[in-house]
Structure 1
Amino acid sequence: MTSDSLMLTPSTLLHASDTLTVIDDKSVISIYDIRSNRRRLFVLIMIAFSSIILPFCDTVYLPALAQLEHDLKTSTTLVDYTISSYLVTCGSFGLLWGPLSDRFGRKIILLISFAFFTAFTIVCTLARSIIVLLIFRSLQGGAISASLIVGQSVVVDMYPPERLGFAMGLFLVPLLVGPIIGPFIGGALASSFGWRSTFVALIIMAAISTIVILVFVPETHHYFITQRQLKLGKKIKTNTIREIHSISKPTFMPPWRPFVFLLDITIAPHIFVCATIFGTLFVSLTLIANRAADKPYSLSPFLIGLCYIPTGTCSLLGSLCGGYVSDWSAKRFSRIAEGRLVISLLGATLCPMGLLLCGWTFHFNVHIVVPLIGASMFCFGETFIFTSVAAFVNVKRSAMAGAILALINALSFVCAGLGIIGAIPLVAVIKFGPLFSLLAGLSSFTIIIAMVVVANQFRKTAFIIRASDLPKAESFSIKNKQIIEESTSLQWF
């Protein structure tokens, strides 16, 4: 029987491109429904709580940079490099943690990474030279990057595509709370006990996160779930799971393989938007700490920590709003997967506007409140688009979503680390206004390119099929389905 003669109805399930197998609707469940909504939300909150340590580790000692420089008798440049080295390894090691979690499971990789992170943090606490601190800060970043990469994979494992925007936005909340409470707590600790106390706080947080993962976070990898259910003799059988064709025995994917998506014109522009904006975010946050400690502001570590509260709050709001708007936009512009990015890309324009306001007001020594308003605008726009892109790639390329997310995070953190290395000497030469104008121009360029690609995808789409209309149709030709898929297929450079 050929695909031209088959008709797809609500009582049948498509198992291959040219054959159909009839299955009783009542016997088919989704892999996403094996947990209740309450249980799924609880696991999401636990894994999100554990991931807060990644941004907290990066920002907790920003208010204490001057203290660290004096105590270790080093330069401002080398102290700032402890931040950039952390970010670079955080991005590059993420390409390894993702494939490892695909091969061996999510939970075991998270536990191993937190064990390494705790050991490296202990060495940082006892460091007596800037070289030792640089080396083990780099190892810190490599270890803790698993909390973000594997954490995102856990969210993708548990939530169906239609709810992924909301779930991803909720997952990112603690990651965005970290920049709020990190400098605030770090400033208070550094003022009272010195900069080493910030690393003691990280050790305590790592221990708590390890216990949370061990006790409350189950294995969520689809393949390992189905295998465990079969071994335990549960009622869930592989032939009753709707997503059976996407569940296969995991293999280790080479860490460099995700880079192939940089050749995909439907994915690459959005990857570059996230990478450039995220990199610019950390460059600006680091420079803000240095500028606030310098004349004419001369703020104490505690007050510098307070300056990050509005920026972190706006990051939090941007993530929540971005997830909601992403899901709404996906329904409103349901012609193609890029529909969920329409509003988000417009919101991302807050990033270059905020950079210009922050940079030039710092340049002319305007009251600290004004540049912080610009920084807050930028932070809102960054998380607003980042959440939407994370949901978009999971819908657009669900089979390789983990690899694409790992690539986005890797490039984002590497751009942040290298950006700090380049920006520190550059800001001394051209000052804040011109430097932030360059960063705003780079962000604007990537956003415009992404907008053009989305508009082009809408233009190329010949058919509009809303997901809500499919169950109402009495029949649907498989041949037409193939034509529609071809009309929205990959466009390569």
Structure 2
Amino acid sequence: MPTEEENAGNQNAKPSESPPTPEEPYSIFDKRQKALIILIVSTAATFSAFASNIYFPALPTIAQDLDVSVELVNLTVTSYLIFQGIAPSLWGPISDVRGRRVAYCCTFLVFLGACIGLAEAKNYATLIVLRCLQSTGSASTIAIGSGVIGDITTRADRGGYMGIFQAGLLVPLAIGPVIGGALAGSLGWRAIFWFLTIYSAVFLVLLIFLLPETLRSIVANGCRTPKNPIGSYPLRTYQKTTKVHWNPEASTSQPAARKRIDVTGPFRILISKYAAPIILFLAIYYAVWQMSITAMSSLFADRYGLNETQIGLTFIANGAGSMIGTLITGKILDIDYRRVKVAHEAQETRTIQTELEAGGSPARSTINSEDNFPLEKARLRLIPLFSCFQCLSIILFGWTIQYPDRVHIAVPIVSTFITGWTAVSTQSAVMTYLVDIFSDRSAAASASLNLARCLFAAGGTSFIMPMVNGIGVGLAFTICAIVQAVALLGVAVQWRFAGAWREAERVKSQASQESQG
């Protein structure tokens, strides 16, 4: 199969007797249009984190109002995470086949209805059921957004765009708890869900009018215009206003054969040897991060006597670290990719020259083929560094918050800044790597990652407070850090073997196609 870079600008010219065909860009969307698309999908992705993080400062208040224990209310966080993991496994494949706009509209309608119900919830049973439904509607926005980015970018610039996307969806980590604490403290916890209702309704209207269809099997690089109104609008406006030179005649070509919706795709990616080690690693790190966030509300309230508004303010450091980290990491990923690509092409050139000098024929027809590109070196180089800092910050958080009379509250808050920075930087690198590997199933790949990390986080958040109450904060988070250190073995396996596994699969697939031909 041709690679993204080859599609972007290395297509073979037609025979000399025919007029040269203009090279088609990988995407017809110009930088200005891509910026708008990234802004829209990043904003859409905020709903998953908003619905989760805006809720944390109000946990003690909700428990008191519904006359249940804090542990039971914490289970609503666990159930939210479970459905946050499962839902994208359905919506991701749908968006990979039916289109990004269809999937977005369906998920936001589900989310909108759930928020209205939560604002009117009168008992604990209603609360937990509607939180599951709310998660079903909001969680898939990250997977669908990753698919959109995979549609309009190549490997060379994907890291930077993915960093911007991750930064946008992490805004709620910084301001969500602040808004939630302020609303719960002044208007009551139900105001949180009325806020989400208004926010989602307004955004859904904007999304319908501003986000074009980008799924490549439907619109190719953006030049095809589907006949159905859902896919054609506002794509025609983007086609007329883009500054990228493209061939308008391509829009009359027939779309690719429609694929069937494969809801098992994310599960197969999850257990495949090409992705399982790195997904398992990230799931553990994400779980520990969520455990620390979930415990913050209760710990800061019990140890430092903070109210809802003050608790909300303590989350700013974690959110700020997350946003800063992913923006910087995205740029580093692009730089690393270009550096590794130059070295790889130089090595390929030397190899071909050596084979020619020896009187043989080169094993590869071109040096810019991406088939054997060392993707792990380009994407995963910094992960061990991020991992070490996250382990240290988790230990610092646990042992400093255990002694509030000896340690100023600023110290554990600073540790959450480091945790947010490193956790999201790691997540950004891994998600970019998976979209690179499964570029034709980018939403499904993101869904598989989301499934693993959310299920692990659901388990972790359900027992973190009983664990803290049983053995103490410091020891509990020290154990978490030890588990994280062991999980680094997944990165080592991915680094050492994944490239060879992909190459073997490519050779096998190529041989099968040649035998059939």
Pick the TM interval, shorter chain.
0.7 to 0.9
Question: For 1:463-482, what aligned pairs fall within 5 Å after superposition?
Answer: none
**Structure 2 residue aligned with 1:443:** 484
Question: For 1:152-191, what aligned pairs fall within 5 Å after superposition?
Answer: 152-191=146-185
Distance 2:176 2:10 in 1: 53
Distance 1:403 1:14 in 2: 34
Aligned residue type for 1:415: F
Q: Deviation at 1:483?
A: 9.8
Question: For 1:78-89, what aligned pairs fall within 5 Å after superposition?
Answer: 78-89=72-83
Larger deviation, residues 50-59 vs 227-236: 227-236
Distance 1:230 1:98, change over 3 A: closer
- Kindly indicate whether the alpha-carbon contact (under 8 Å) linking 2:101 and 2:213 is maintained by their aligned counterparts in 1: yes
Distance 1:222 1:73 in 2: 51
1:71 maps onto 2:62 in alignment: no
**Structure 1 residue aligned with 2:30:** 36
**Structure 2 residue aligned with 1:345:** 384
* Cα deviation 1:61-82 (Å, max 9, x = unaligned): 2111111111110111111111
Q: Deviation at 1:94?
A: 0.7
Question: For 1:278-289, what aligned pairs fall within 5 Å after superposition?
Answer: 278-289=286-297
1:13 maps onto 2:20 in alignment: no
**Structure 2 residue aligned with 1:472:** none
- Kindly indicate whether the alpha-carbon contact (under 8 Å) linking 2:224 and 2:251 is maintained by their aligned counterparts in 1: no
Aligned residue type for 1:251: K
- Kindly indicate whether the alpha-carbon contact (under 8 Å) linking 2:399 and 2:474 is maintained by their aligned counterparts in 1: yes
Distance 2:304 2:58 in 1: 16
Distance 1:61 1:403, change over 3 A: closer
- Kindly indicate whether the alpha-carbon contact (under 8 Å) linking 2:280 and 2:490 is maintained by their aligned counterparts in 1: no
Aligned residue type for 1:323: G
Distance 1:424 1:230 in 2: 52
Q: Which runs of 5+ in 1 are unaligned?
A: 1-9, 462-481
**Structure 1 residue aligned with 2:411:** 370
1:211 maps onto 2:205 in alignment: yes
1:321 maps onto 2:328 in alignment: yes
SS at match of 1:151: helix
Distance 2:505 2:103 in 1: 39
Distance 1:61 1:402, change over 3 A: closer
**Structure 2 residue aligned with 1:408:** 449
Distance 1:253 1:424, change over 3 A: farther
- Kindly indicate whether the alpha-carbon contact (under 8 Å) linking 1:286 and 1:420 is maintained by their aligned counterparts in 2: yes
Q: Deviation at 1:31?
A: 3.8
- Kindly indicate whether the alpha-carbon contact (under 8 Å) linking 1:349 and 1:447 is maintained by their aligned counterparts in 2: no
Q: 2:463 aligns with which of 422, 445, 450?
A: 422
Distance 1:194 1:90, change over 3 A: same
TM-score (normalised: structure 2) = 0.80
Question: For 1:222-371, what aligned pairs fall within 5 Å after superposition?
Answer: 222-226=216-220, 228-229=224-225, 235-237=247-249, 248-294=256-302, 296-334=303-341, 335=344, 336-339=374-377, 340-365=379-404, 366-371=407-412
Q: What count of residue pairs does the alignment treat as equivalent?
A: 449
* Cα deviation 1:189-248 (Å, max 9, x = unaligned): 11111111111111111112101211111111112214843869994455999xx9xx84
**Structure 1 residue aligned with 2:436:** 395
Distance 1:136 1:344, change over 3 A: same
Q: Deviation at 1:269?
A: 1.8
Larger deviation, residues 449-458 vs 51-60: 449-458
Q: Deviation at 1:396?
A: 2.4
Distance 1:230 1:285, change over 3 A: closer
**Structure 2 residue aligned with 1:56:** 50
Question: For 1:97-136, what aligned pairs fall within 5 Å after superposition?
Answer: 97-136=91-130
**Structure 2 residue aligned with 1:383:** 424
1:93 maps onto 2:57 in alignment: no
Distance 1:180 1:49 in 2: 14
Distance 1:24 1:354, change over 3 A: farther
- Kindly indicate whether the alpha-carbon contact (under 8 Å) linking 2:376 and 2:494 is maintained by their aligned counterparts in 1: no
SS at match of 2:12: strand
Distance 1:306 1:391, change over 3 A: same
Distance 1:209 1:261, change over 3 A: same
* Cα deviation 1:387-436 (Å, max 9, x = unaligned): 11111122223233332211001111121112111223222211211211
Distance 1:21 1:70 in 2: 79
* Cα deviation 1:336-378 (Å, max 9, x = unaligned): 0111211233223221111111111122333221112222211
- Kindly indicate whether the alpha-carbon contact (under 8 Å) linking 2:11 and 2:23 is maintained by their aligned counterparts in 1: no
Q: Which runs of 5+ in 2 are unaligned?
A: 1-8, 240-246, 345-373, 511-517
* Cα deviation 1:419-473 (Å, max 9, x = unaligned): 1112232222112112111211122222243035314568x69xxxxxxxxxxxx
Larger deviation, residues 262-271 vs 356-365: 262-271
- Kindly indicate whether the alpha-carbon contact (under 8 Å) linking 1:64 and 1:190 is maintained by their aligned counterparts in 2: yes
Q: Deviation at 1:260?
A: 2.7
Q: Deviation at 1:13?
A: 2.7
Aligned residue type for 2:131: R
TM-score (normalised: structure 1) = 0.84
Q: Deviation at 1:50?
A: 2.2
Distance 1:443 1:399 in 2: 31
* Cα deviation 1:269-307 (Å, max 9, x = unaligned): 21112211112111110101110111x311011110110
Larger deviation, residues 324-333 vs 83-92: 324-333
**Structure 2 residue aligned with 1:475:** none
Distance 1:349 1:266, change over 3 A: farther
- Kindly indicate whether the alpha-carbon contact (under 8 Å) linking 1:124 and 1:136 is maintained by their aligned counterparts in 2: yes
Larger deviation, residues 130-139 vs 326-335: 326-335
Distance 1:395 1:123, change over 3 A: same
Distance 2:383 2:258 in 1: 33
Distance 1:362 1:11 in 2: 57
Distance 1:178 1:193 in 2: 20
Distance 1:103 1:261, change over 3 A: closer
Distance 1:407 1:277 in 2: 16
1:27 maps onto 2:65 in alignment: no
SS at match of 1:251: coil
Q: Deviation at 1:100?
A: 1.0
Aligned residue type for 2:128: L
Q: Deviation at 1:179?
A: 1.0
Aligned residue type for 2:465: I
Q: Deviation at 1:45?
A: 0.7
Distance 2:52 2:10 in 1: 52
Identity %: 26
Aligned residue type for 1:443: Q
